[in-house]
Amino acid sequence: MAFAHDDVVWAVRGWWRVPEDEKLTPDSSQGDDNPDIEKYLGYGDLNMVWKLPYSHSLDFKLRNNLKSDNKSSIQVGWSFPLSKHLFGYVEYFNGYGESLIYYDQHISRVGVGFRLTNWL
């Protein structure tokens, strides 16, 4: 579900994980590979994109499992023009669930890259 107001877009996403049978052995291709993923990713996230002047934009993503052990994450990104059709992008991430491989490990990282288009 998304809501727009002026130069800001808010989006709320939710998900439900399809249950799987337990693995018989750790090397088995059948069964659940990550049974505790909800503990780290929760059941949804809150996103925001804010269009700034001069074709800049900020985006935020917040995820929390809403439990007492509070496995959460925050992601903040900044997009800025390099040319008419190319944007630079800097992103900071802190928390759990940065990738599906390391979903259960706390990670802090900074990334730098390019975008071909902005969200707004």
3-class secondary structure, 63: strand
**What number of CA atoms fall less than 13 Å from residue 43's CA on the CB side?**
5
* 3-state secondary structure string across 13-43: EECCCCCCCCCCCCCCCCCCCCCCHHHHHCC
Structure tokens at 115: 């975008």
pLDDT in tens, 25-57: 888 888 888 888 889 999 999 999 999 999 999
Q: Evaluate whether residue 65 is within a structural domain.
A: yes
CB atoms within 10 A of CB 26: 7
Provide the terminal-to-terminal Cα distance of the chain, rounded to the nearest Å: 17
pLDDT in tens, 77-118: 999 999 988 999 999 999 999 998 889 999 999 999 999 887
Q: Evaluate whether residue 84 is within a structural domain.
A: yes
Q: Report the CATH number at residue 62.
A: 2.40.230.10
Per the structure, how many domains does the chain have? 1
